[in-house]
Amino acid sequence: MEKTSDSLLLIFTRNPELGKCKTRLAATIGNEAALEVYKFLLAHTATITSELDVNKQVYYSEKIWQEDVWPNTVFSKKLQQGADLGARMHHAFQEGFEAGYKKIIVIGSDMYDLSKEDLETAFSTLEQHDFVVGPAKDGGYYLLGMKKLRSTLFENKAWGTASVLSDTLTSIENENFTLLSVKNDIDLYEDIREIDAFEPFIEHIKNDTGTT
């Protein structure tokens, strides 16, 4: 897709397949419901990013799907490359900077607590800062942005653990960075049980347990 901006949004996503996504959530609500939750989150992410005035690339975990929630007219489609999440993100950022982008941000595809305005704010903060980080409540991050490639951000991190955020901030402690507001990502039943939008996906759990 043609480069129309000096800003690039990277969206990392898993192919929505039964039993392969939201496995910790699935342990409570079942694989079928977890898959539907993930599809709902994908649609939310596609909606809030589609009108964002930057170039957008979706990085798939397993294979590129041409006909899905990510329209080919809006999103460029690529395949993640690397042995772990750090290596895959590093590769995507490196490709982006080599293509001439000046500001690059990566997000996942499962943040219900994220808006188009949040992303606009993140890009605008890169006008004054070299790095921007969106902390997640679980000790990770939901967003990482930069104006220059810093390889150490992607190395020696225990991905998926509560140390990721602190280790990431250590990697840029001497750099010009800023933090966004803390947000909650969706990994466990507890993350969605009080949110009305997820009610249709977890009714069977509440009915089984008698929870209201």
pLDDT band at 4 (very low <50, low <70, confident <90, very high): confident
Which domains are seen in the chain, by residue range? 7-201 (3.90.550.10)
DSSP letter for each residue of 14-63: ----TTSS-HHHHHHH-HHHHHHHHHHHHHHHHHHHHT-SSEEEEEESS-
What's residue 209's pLDDT? 52
Report the predicted TM-score, pTM, of the whole model to 2 decimal places: 0.93
Q: How far apart are CA 17 and CA 39, in angstroms?
A: 9
What's residue 212's pLDDT? 42
pLDDT at residue 190 tops 60: yes
Q: What is the pLDDT of residues 75-113, one digit of tens each?
A: 999 999 999 999 999 999 999 999 999 999 999 998 999
pLDDT at residue 2 tops 90: no
- Under 8 Å between Cβ of 43 and 89: no
What's residue 22's pLDDT? 92
Q: What is the pLDDT of residues 168-179, one digit of tens each?
A: 999 999 999 999
CA distances from 123 to 16, 60, 134, 135 (A): 28, 23, 12, 16
Average pLDDT over the chain reads: 93
Averaged pLDDT, 62-74: 95
Q: What is the pLDDT of residues 110-146, one digit of tens each?
A: 899 999 999 999 999 999 999 999 999 989 999 999 9
pLDDT band at 151 (very low <50, low <70, confident <90, very high): very high
